[in-house]
Amino acid sequence: MLKTLKILMVLTSHATLGDTGHATGVWFEELTTPYYAFIDAGVEVDLASIDGGPIPIDPGSQAPEGQNPASVERFLKDKTAMAKLQASVSVDKVADTDYAAIFLPGGHGTMWDLPNSTALATLLSTAWTHGKVVAAVCHGLAGLVSVQDANGQPLVAGKRVSAFTNAEEESAGKSEQVPFLLETRIRELGAKYESGPNFQPFAVRDGNLVTGQNPASSEKVAELTLEAVKSPTQ
């Protein structure tokens, strides 16, 4: 009997946008679209977060019932999924050994807690060293900026990588609120940064590293993650 594939999704626990007083968190579609891409492919999905417990959802990513993307509507009606969202495992209690991939959804909350999590950096570095797939979409790339490979180099250095662009951040009106600009930081770490048109789907796979530019890229990142899990390379 084949062992069921498992993917871990690690999400932000940060619920406020800097010192603005505005609420933020995970961008819902960046969780729900990959979640069901994996579930529908027969993969088990666990949810973890930086602090554990309830995961904050950016209110800008959830509309009244019937007005959300299909995956968000499905998630809101899925008792199992919603229970996972309310009782996520703390990332420092997770080992990478059970997972074929670790996936980081975005949302502006990630910009504050993911880069500063030693537990997340260690988890991702160990997973990478063990030949697992590491994937992130949009601001989820903030979780990669502190991750090093086995040689002590930035994980993204020399690799094709996409993330939320500086132009998209400017368009979203958040350039002055985020602690750093993600595109700029990824470039500074030595990545071969790539992007498509603003707010259009764009994702790249470089071996076991899969990244996407923005919320619209979630589905493509999920597809490439599944592809990488089935044919991993370093």
Question: CA-to-CA distance for 69 and 97, rounded, in angstroms?
Answer: 33
Q: Which residues contact 95 (CB under 8 A, 6 or more apart)?
A: 123
| Rounded CA separation 28/11 (Å) | 11
pLDDT of 232 reads 67
| Range 35-49 average pLDDT | 97
Q: pTM of the full predicted structure?
A: 0.96
Give the integer Cα–Cα distance in Å for 124 and 95: 10
Q: Are 141 and 181 spatial neighbours (Cβ–Cβ below 8 Å)?
A: no
Identify the pLDDT of residue 19. 81
Report yes or no: 88 and 53 within 8 Å, Cβ to Cβ. Answer: yes
Confidence of residue 1 (pLDDT cuts 50, 70, 90): very low
Using CA atoms, how far apart are residues 230 and 127, in angstroms rounded to an integer?
Answer: 16
E strands, the chain, in order: 6-11, 44-49, 89-90, 101-104, 133-137, 160-161, 192-193, 203-206, 209-212
What confidence tens digit (pLDDT) does each residue in 141-150 have?
999 999 999 9
Selection from 15, 11, 6 nearest residue 117 by Cα: 11
Q: Which pLDDT does position 83 carry in this prediction? A: 98
Give me the domains of the chain, ranges plus CATH numbers. 6-230 (3.40.50.880)
83-140: per-residue pLDDT in tens? Answer: 999 999 999 999 877 899 999 999 999 999 999 999 999 999 999 999 999 999 999 9
The pLDDT of 58-69, averaged and rounded, is 96
**SS3 (DSSP) at 226:** helix
